[in-house]
Amino acid sequence: MSYKKIIESGLRAAQDNMCGQDKIWSRYSHDKVDVGEVLAKVIRTLSSVFPLNLKLRALSIGSSDEPQFRILETAFRGGLYLLDINNCALNVVKERIKRQRTDHVITIEGDYNKIFLNAKSREDFFKEKLNSSEVHLVTLHHSLYYCLARDWLNIFDNLYSKFLAHKAAMHAVLMSSKSTSQSSTTWLYNHFAGKFFGVHDDQDLRAFKKKLQKQPAFKKAQVELRTNRIYFDVDDFKKFMAVVWMILLYPNVHKYSLKQREEITEFIYKKFYKTRHPLIQEQDHLVVYKGIKSKGLI
């Protein structure tokens, strides 16, 4: 294919929908393997403190069609609640629940900001959706992007004190907001969003960990963080660019002009695709253990 045609295919990928872009990311990166690995450690820690016959319960916030479904569904037989704003993603799970008779899995369509940042909605959600029963695990896998960083503490506070059982955990995963690698998704976002819109990534889970540790409400909690590096590469430039547009938040947040999109596409082609250089993502895992005395795994 000529250079012109390749660049055109990369530009066309900007029109793909986010669901499809996310599927490409899941397939050609090892993000889900990384999330699954830490999740398994959290579940292992939780399992060690409860009687074997207790059926555990979990809430996944921004679950999408729940890539960790097979892990969560088997471990949380007392109820697995999947909350997402996107009905499309939840319909995929609904079909699976019916087909595979996993009726301990419940889908809930809703906006987590509206639910957890408002006292009345929070109480209604707890009563009506969770049957007034606390959960042993809350996951926020790549979903805190959709909440202002200044609201995180409020959300964590509410989840910790009102939704978590007396022994429980929370697991959040997010792209690191700082990275020294010029091949990273963080660098790409900060470079182009900074150059064209004067903004940078302020969703810093590492700083948030320190903030949480200083809160009286979390004094007895174990608050742990680790950063893992994952790779993305695919032998199809259109697919490569589909993921780049998702990372650069085009078009929902930043509407790069055609000229800017051309500059980005040519940059990615030269820096990554032509030299078979994978895109790196540094991602932070934050785990909060509540009421667990032994050192929890992360």
Ligand X SMILES: C[S@@+](CC[C@H](N)C(=O)[O-])C[C@H]1O[C@@H](n2cnc3c(N)ncnc32)[C@H](O)[C@@H]1O
Q: Looking only at residues 19 through 58 of this chain, which bind ligand X when binding is defined by CB under 6 A?
A: 22, 35
* CB-nearer residue toward ligand X: 3 or 146: 146
Among 9, 71, 86, 94, binds ligand X (CB under 6 A): 86
Q: Do residues 264 and 28 make contact, with C-beta atoms less than 8 angstroms apart?
A: no
Q: How many CB atoms are located within 10 Å of the residue 178 CB?
A: 16
Stretch that binds ligand X, among 129-137, 142-150, 217-225, 260-268 (CB under 6 A): 142-150
Beta strands 135-141 and 79-84: pairing type?
Answer: unpaired
Among 45, 64, 184, 265, binds ligand X (CB under 6 A): 64
Is 290 among the residues that bind ligand X (CB under 6 A)? no
Among 11, 43, 89, 247, binds ligand X (CB under 6 A): 89
Instruction: For the CB of residue 53, give the shortest distance to ligand X in the complex, in Å.
Output: 29
Distance CA 109, CA 156 (A): 20
Q: Looking only at residues 169 through 208 of this chain, which bind ligand X when binding is defined by CB under 6 A?
A: none
Q: 171 forms bridges with which residues in the sheet?
A: 139, 287
Q: Do residues 32 and 26 make contact, with C-beta atoms less than 8 angstroms apart?
A: yes
Among 49, 85, 106, 298, binds ligand X (CB under 6 A): 85
Is 141 among the residues that bind ligand X (CB under 6 A)? yes
CA angle (118 as vertex; 285, 220 as ends), nearest 5: 45
Distance CA 178, CA 201 (A): 8
The footprint of ligand X (CB under 6 A) covers 22, 35, 62-64, 67, 83-86, 89, 111-113, 141-143, 146
